Amino acid sequence: MSSKDYWNVSDINDNSIRTVLIMTESVHLLISGRVQGVGFRAATLQQAQKHGLTGWVANCRDGSVEVYAEGEANELTAFKNWLRTGPPSARVDQLTTLDPLPLEETHNFEIR
């Protein structure tokens, strides 16, 4: 499940104004397995930046990792596919989609 938000952006070109509709979606995920102490959060940050996403990744007390990301649908899909396996040092046993959060409109991706 993801949440969606729509943004109107005006582009001025040759004295005309063109409106472009940009769709931002979000995902809220929980990743379980051997995902702490193996560089999972740092690798997730790199992947999020590669896909132009914003949001955060955080360790949970139960040994899982929580991820919230915002961006274009196709980039979120590619990011989510990467999260299913993670970095070579990790072992992902389960990727669970959590209830969506309101769009945070963050400006970068961070490790929390």
Closest CA to 2 of 79, 75, 102: 102
For strands 109-111 and 54-59, give the pairing: parallel
Catalytic residue among 15, 18, 41, 108: 41
Catalytic residue among 13, 34, 59, 61: 59
Is 41 one of the catalytic residues? yes
Is 59 one of the catalytic residues? yes
Angle at which helices 73-83 and 40-50 cross, to 10°: 160
Distances (CA, A) of 74 to 8, 47, 80: 19, 14, 10
Q: Which residue numbers are catalytic?
A: 41, 59
